[in-house]
Structure 1
């Protein structure tokens, strides 16, 4: 751990060969070592000096050396500077370093899913990037047996890499540069503050901007930035963001701004009743990442997070407190009725039956994951379309909820998944796997004969037929005059 040494009385920083790292209180004046850093870097990388010059760190006299100083024995420490005046520094300023001044913020971040994002490295997603999409031909000193360029340039840049320090103290190029939110740092800490507070200005305004979150929260499986842009919140932000005062120190909805919320407002920001939090999971009442949506305390328990003891009702209250800055209680409560209805629809009609069908199909499939067509069909059903529908509903994005969500789920469930299951049954019978084929057929028949799916067999119930007939008649009576 990098050390902090401040002379009692005059608050002068020690500037000997002892590493100072982060400071625990703003210094009285800029250190001579940091002055030397800026004088040199102005010549060859002036941009970062100017960014730092615009930052609150600069105004607080916290300079280069206060953050980058290292101790003898630090894994990533190396000598840097003019000959005869070298100092031990490290390139990476980890959350553990930031915690010297920002202890509460770092503690909250470390207890969140963000800090655990690099655990994807052993997941199904990374199997795709490492094997199905990639190969092992990206060879570096840290990975002499090779790695996949698809994983390095894709997955790791959002989720975070495990930074490897080479024998000469340099950082392996497969793992650095990297600002992934769950980066595993050489000092053992998890996370990257610069994922949101980019070097070297560390702007709070930037961290509050939805575009910052959009670096990772976008695309076919979690299009949060696209959903936000489609929503009323995003439309208001785009048209009136100049009125938000996003650079203010105090930034409370309903007091300091009321035009539109950003991602930060809802998931992290202060309210009249809550402080800012860097644990982005404390206001979420559903975890929509897995095939079947679960309550957040369930997933937190699996990850060993302290928030496993905070139930979803409390988290929903936290979010509704944010909503109440601009919306009535009836508006907020009715939104959650709509949202819960979509989650229940997805879980019961597609997710749970899909899991059951895939389990029954497994004996008839080739054992290698993603060597079967149906592997991709099911993966995209829950990982892409299923997530889009659920996330769209959670953030009031109707087009993504429906046309990019539930419509595509239904189309692919009925025209891709079921035909492929039927193909597996036929193939199983022909290859002598009659028992497994029979079990899958019975499972499929049972599911298709439930109220959710029997329309597919031409067995829509009389009640459903009457509801559809009455809706058509009501529509014509009202609009066809």
Structure 2
């Protein structure tokens, strides 16, 4: 198809067939830069597939194929956090307890955590299970087959993944002053020159494909803070994440997984590097003094949220220690384990086993849902999420955990 004039597209075998079979794909490609530059089907999908019978021979291109023309973007992506989506998914124990359809079927975790360059062995495992369509990361933001730069620069491109239970950044941004101004600007209610920062302006500036944040997803980091209580609280959270052994306080193999996918900053230098980037970004619109005050306030609320979180973890941990909760089979220690999320007690979801105890479920909700809102909302400047959906819900969770623990102790035989 390379070099085929636009007026003869209908005569091309691929277009002729797929106009009937998958017309949306054809229409997207026809309005794309690829079509404009005579990049046809065979450039990405190969020439082995030509009939319905040999459809499985069509290559579903990985990121390396995109790199043949977009090397800079590929290099940036490969060094950013999006590239660790797939590996971080597989590093978390909860992944291996859920139905495959939610992981590789593109509806649950795998629908977003597909992002990330996969090894040939990882691709083979997926192919052997019958999954072959989530083979590329680029089309998460530049969707097939239009692959539009404009689309990827629209903050709605981030919405599918950055919303919901444990990462409602879309809801926070879109209902913040930043988001409100962007929507107003879209409607023509603000001039074209008005500041209206999007996700991309702050996290992927100047078209960069290398994204990173200071605090990361887990909201924990090293070194420990100077404040004795704040340091103790963070250690408690790291124990509940399985990163530190609850008895000795020593690092566990889970720390290696956290390091491998950069799930947390483990030294001051790497954290400061990202913080300095954000200080510079925010200072494009605000005074540096104001920016620093706001980001420091976000750090401060994290310490206060960690005090609530650590109190809750220690309350549940005491139930484990006293035998009121039996250690689940695959837990790393006789201690609460936040990385099971809301799944079964460490085995496959379809085994005939007791589900995660209710008090453990409340604890996981407190960490994964409400603590995330409490601290993320400060950095996304959203008052309602910071207080009502975050801090206030954490205090309610803690109260419920305390009451459940009292009841469990009173009724224990």
TM-score by length of 1: 0.62
Distance 1:215 1:125 in 2: 21
Q: Deviations over 1:73-130 (max 9, x none)?
A: xxxxxx31159xx999534221111111112222222233322222324524435634
In the TM superposition, residue 213 of structure 1 has moved relative to its aligned partner by: 0.9
Q: State the Cα RMSD in Å.
A: 3.8
Instruction: Call closer, same or farther: CA 1:203–1:173 in 2, change over 3 Å.
Output: farther
CA contact (8 A) 2:76 2:209 kept: yes
Q: Which residue of 2 aligns with 1:419?
A: 403
Q: Which moved more, 1:115-124 or 1:375-384?
A: 115-124
Q: Which residue of 1 aligns with 2:49?
A: 80
Q: Which residue of 1 aligns with 2:251?
A: none
**Number of paired residues?**
343
Distance 1:87 1:45 in 2: 13
Whose helix proportion is higher, 1 or 2? 2
Distance 1:93 1:150 in 2: 20
User: Within 5 Å, which residues of 2 pair with 1:168-179?
Assistant: 175-178=131-134
Q: Does 1:204 align with 2:204?
A: no
Distance 2:313 2:75 in 1: 37
CA contact (8 A) 2:63 2:137 kept: yes
Distance 1:359 1:392 in 2: 28
Q: Which residue of 2 aligns with 1:62?
A: 39
TM-score by length of 2: 0.71
Structure with more relative contact order (C-alpha pairs < 8 Å, separation 6 or more)? 2
Distance 2:114 2:392 in 1: 33
CA contact (8 A) 1:112 1:305 kept: no
User: Within 5 Å, which residues of 2 pair with 1:35-54?
Assistant: 35-54=12-31
Q: Which residue of 2 aligns with 1:293?
A: 220
Unaligned runs of 5+ in 1: 1-14, 16-26, 71-78, 131-146, 179-184, 186-190, 245-255, 271-275, 431-481
Q: Deviations over 1:334-390 (max 9, x none)?
A: 21122122112112x222333333333323212232531111010001011111111
User: Within 5 Å, which residues of 2 pair with 1:327-346?
Assistant: 327-346=286-305
Distance 2:103 2:43 in 1: 36
* 1:358 aligns with one of 289, 312, 316: 316
Distance 2:167 2:140 in 1: 18
Q: Does 1:155 align with 2:112?
A: no
* 2:375 aligns with one of 378, 386, 390: 390
In the TM superposition, residue 225 of structure 1 has moved relative to its aligned partner by: 0.9
Which of 1 and 2 has greater Rg? 1
* 2:74 aligns with one of 106, 130, 137: 106
Q: Which residue of 1 aligns with 2:208?
A: 277
Q: Deviations over 1:391-430 (max 9, x none)?
A: 111101110111010001001101x1112222344456x4
* 1:326 aligns with one of 273, 285, 298: 285
